Amino acid sequence: MKTLVLSKMDVPGLVEALGETARLIGPRKKEHQFVFGQITKPEQLALEYPTTILPPSRQLFPNDEPLVRLRLDDVAASREIVEGEKTILLGVHPCDVQGINILDEVFSDSPPDANYLTRRSQTIIIALECQAPCSPYNLCFDKGTYRLEWGYDLLMIDLGDRYFVFTRTGAGEELIGDLPFFRAATPADREALGRARETQAGSFKTRLAGPVNRLPNALKEAYDDLLWEAVGRRCLSCETCTNVCPTCYCFDVADEVELDLVNGTRCRQWDSCQSCTFAEVAGGENFRPRPSERQRHRLFKKEVYQYEKYGRSACVGCGRCSAQCVASIRLNEMYNQVLGG
């Protein structure tokens, strides 16, 4: 691991240099909100941004992702579309980096998903630590996801006029290897880093009524709680909470046919466990017909099922589901209810 420093004055130069070597994706302003999108000019990059509408993990798991090229007249001519191009995700907040790490684990799990992993293997992540909570709903302090230990290539920490930069991987070091914008960190930089981290720690607050490691058991005990009924009455099953979540990965597969009626594409589309037909089978049986059951499933999948399978939560606490729910259903309130707060 190297410790480097990047002056903020050099960010435009860096953006131009990176843009020449790869597809550069970073936070951009979109009306009064922020999104991850391609950065072709330095002025498009908005590194001081609150939580984006969609998480950057969706760049690796795009909607309508082509999986198979089809010939309608010949099944044997089906060809996989496993594509990826060298991509740099710049300015990714720690919770979102961990969202990507979770998708990595799910898609690497047997059988590994070549479509996702090929794209992922060509992606470099330049993370950016938040100096203060970036959403009123985030749980990153409770979840410990406001800082990063691994899963990134480079990590930037704002020191006011400059960024402190950690390199984590060989790929990260290689990326900035010959660029003139970085210099080795000095003791003064390290001191500034210590102060920034102290301010940072002081600005985050716990939002939950109990420790997160109690969530799996607390939820299991609350399986038949009236909470789900109460939430289910308000939920509109609009699927927003799952579509904006960095770690949701449920999908559907559907064929798209071109106008020539000969060529087509089998595509993967985002799907949501909140959709009323998600668990319906032929004959009309629906295994989760009620919004209350679907909301419970969403939380259990994050905190119980993935905990049992992978030994970790699948909620990185980004706060998007709470912030964007049209029915004002807040994850932190639901968690607090089961934690007894």
Partner 1 sequence: MLDTAPISRKSLFVPEAARILDVEPLTAREKLFRVSLNDRPLGHRPCQFVEVSIAGIGEAPISVSSSPASSEIFDLCVRDVGTLTQAMHRLEPGDRIGIRGPYGNGFPVEKIIGKDLLFVCGGLGLAPLRSLILHCIENRASFRRLTVLYGAKRPSERLYREELAAWAKDERLDLRETVDVPEEGWTGNVGVITTLFRAVEVDPLETVAVIVGPPVMYKFAVLELLQRGIMESRIYMSLERRMRCGLGKCGHCQMNGIYVCQEGPVFCYSDVKKVKEAL
Ligand X SMILES: Cc1cc2nc3c(=O)[nH]c(=O)nc-3n(C[C@H](O)[C@H](O)[C@H](O)COP(=O)(O)OP(=O)(O)OC[C@H]3O[C@@H](n4cnc5c(N)ncnc54)[C@H](O)[C@@H]3O)c2cc1C
- Residues forming the site for ligand X (CB under 6 A): 277, 280-282
Contact 159, 193 (CB under 8 A): yes
Residue 331: CB minimum distance to ligand SF4, A: 5
Strand partners, 27: 36
Contact flag: residue 76 with partner 1 (CB under 8 A): yes
Q: Which does 317 bind (CB under 5 to 8 A by kind): ligand SF4, ligand X, partner 1, none?
A: ligand SF4
Contact flag: residue 321 with ligand SF4 (CB under 6 A): yes
Residue 187: CB minimum distance to partner 1, A: 31
What is the size of the binding site for ligand SF4 (CB under 6 A)? 25
Q: What are phi and psi of 30, to 5 degrees?
A: -135, 105
Residue 237: CB minimum distance to partner 1, A: 16
Q: What are phi and psi of 170, to 5 degrees?
A: -60, -40
Going by DSSP bridges, is the β-strand pair 87-92/23-30 parallel, antiparallel, or unpaired?
A: parallel
What is the dihedral angle through the alpha carbons of 227, 232, 234, 238, rounded to the nearest 10 degrees?
140
Contact flag: residue 317 with ligand SF4 (CB under 6 A): yes
Dist CA 9 CA 15 (whole Å): 11
CB atoms < 10 A from the CB of 292, how many?
Answer: 19
Residue 2: CB minimum distance to ligand SF4, A: 30
Q: What are phi and psi of 115, to 5 degrees?
A: -60, -45
**Residue 82 or 327: which CB sits closer to partner 1?**
82
- Where does this chain touch ligand SF4 (CB under 6 A) — which range of 155-163, 165-173, 258-266, 313-321? 313-321
Which residue among 59, 274, 292, 306 contacts ligand SF4 (CB under 6 A)?
274
Residue 152: CB minimum distance to partner 1, A: 10
DSSP characters for 195-228? Answer: HHHHHHHHH----SSS-GGGHHHHHHHTTT-THH
Token pair of 210 as six digits: 């109990």
Contact flag: residue 235 with ligand SF4 (CB under 6 A): yes
Which residue among 153, 239, 271, 303 contacts ligand SF4 (CB under 6 A)?
239
Contact flag: residue 134 with ligand SF4 (CB under 6 A): no
Which residue among 9, 309, 326, 341 contacts partner 1 (CB under 8 A)?
309
Give residues 206-235 in contact with partner 1 (rule: CB under 8 A): 223
Dist CA 32 CA 305 (whole Å): 36
**Residue 3 or 286: which CB sits closer to ligand X?**
286
Contact flag: residue 79 with partner 1 (CB under 8 A): yes
Helix spans in the chain (H): 11-21, 57-60, 94-108, 114-121, 140-143, 170-176, 187-203, 215-221, 227-234, 240-243, 291-300, 306-310, 320-324, 331-339
Tell me the CB-side half-sphere exposure of residue 76, using CA atoms within 13 A: 0
Which residue among 318, 330, 334, 335 contacts ligand SF4 (CB under 6 A)?
318
Angle at 54 between CA 53 and CA 57, to 5 degrees: 150
In the sheet that 33-38 helps form, which strands lie side by side, from edge to edge?
33-38, 23-30, 87-92, 123-128, 154-158, 162-167, 3-7, 182-184
- What residue ranges bind ligand SF4 (CB under 6 A)? 235-241, 244-247, 274, 302, 315-321, 325-327, 329, 331
- What residue ranges bind partner 1 (CB under 8 A)? 67-68, 70-72, 74-76, 78-82, 104, 106-115, 117-118, 120-124, 153, 169, 171, 223, 249-255, 257, 261, 264, 266, 268, 271, 273, 278-283, 285, 287-288, 297, 300-301, 304-305, 308-309
